[in-house]
Amino acid sequence: MNLLFDLRYYVLYPSFFNSVIYPGLIFTAILLLTTIWFERKAAARVQMRVGPYYASKRLGGFMQLIADAVKFVFSEVIIPEGVNPTLFALAPVLAVAMSFIPLSIIPVSVIPPSGSVFSIYFRDFYDPNIGMGVLTGLFVQYNMLLILAIESMYPVFVIFVAWVTNNRFAIVGAVRESYLSVSYDVLLIMATLSMSLEYHTLDLAKIAQSGIPGILANPVAAIVFFIAMLMGSARFPFEIAEAETELVLGAYTEYSGFLFVLTMAGSYVGNLVYALVFTDMFLWGWYPLSGFPGALLTGLKASIVVFFSVFLRAVYGRYRIDQALRGGWKYLLPLTFVSLFIGLVVGYIWIP
């Protein structure tokens, strides 16, 4: 019994549970494979093709993604001549690690004082803003700013990945990423600021627990945040830095084998991070549930947002870099000021 209690205590301890199990490494790996499968099948259906099929026909070809992952993991890692092999191998590892860190800060549910398997951690993760515990790996009252601050460092590592490969296509992709990051970071911060003004907090848990979904309170901020999220995670029509038809694979051109898997995982993990933030901020998060059921509800909503994001590949063409930047600065930035005005007015009139 003591062993079972100790096992339950450590496995369900939020810092471990959220970082490793859900929505951490294990859940993210499963969702990553499922997202790629859905992306290929959805594009195939729109284009009147079959998509992955022959491996596990009864499962719609889902096992094909596992077979591809195993193939890449055991493929040879080719290191080009004239590069620093240590930095070449370390760069994608740092990039994907940086994309994972915010998953430990995002609240996915609340912990009631009793009636939940997480209730024994109620006081350890107590949030004075809502009077309940928060199911998160690291509780921070200003988590909205911290999550965006960490996620905004990801483009730096993309540029680092391109620089260490010493490849002209990679450098061009990195330059495109730097241009885009300046645009979408401003949009993300402004949309988040409008929500913080509206709900009088920088705590995602308080926004989700308020009972007022952000997409109704400020739909303009939701639109801006979603589009900026697509830009930040390189989803269509903003897959500009990796454009295969122009840049081979952008910053990741020289990578193969397991390192290639890591470079591809970074953008998908970033998309999941933004989807979880979008869920808490605009889609009511886990409300009105709590504990583990609330966490499952948050993950379900975030997964739907991720699936919708990758589905856009099937129906949109890729923008040029000038089109994306013009759209960000000329059309979306004015919308952020509208969302700020809405946030101030609605926060003063409606939200206490």
What count of other Cβ atoms lies within 10 Å of the Cβ of residue 162?
28
| Residue (of 203, 209, 217) closest to 294 by Cα position | 209
Say if CB 234 and CB 242 are below 8 A apart: yes
pTM: 0.92
Q: Which two tokens stand for residue 211?
A: 């009972």
pLDDT at 7: 66
**CA gap 308, 265 in Å, rounded:** 18
- Put the strands of the sheet holding 126-127 in their side by side order: 109-111, 132-135, 126-127
**CA gap 238, 180 in Å, rounded:** 9
pLDDT at 247: 65
**CA gap 137, 125 in Å, rounded:** 9
pLDDT at 352: 67
Helix (H, G, I), strand (E, B) or coil at 53: coil
The DSSP code for 161 is: H
What count of other Cβ atoms lies within 10 Å of the Cβ of residue 336?
22
Cα dist. 310→96, 171, 185, 300, 303 in Å? 19, 25, 20, 16, 11
pLDDT in tens, the chain (352 residues): 566 566 667 788 888 888 888 888 899 989 988 898 888 888 888 888 887 777 777 777 888 888 888 888 888 788 888 888 888 888 888 888 888 888 889 999 999 888 888 888 888 888 888 888 899 988 888 888 888 888 888 888 888 888 888 888 888 888 888 888 888 888 999 999 999 998 988 889 999 888 888 899 899 999 999 999 998 888 878 777 777 666 667 778 888 888 888 888 888 888 899 999 999 999 988 888 888 899 999 999 999 999 999 888 888 878 888 888 888 888 899 999 999 999 888 888 877 6
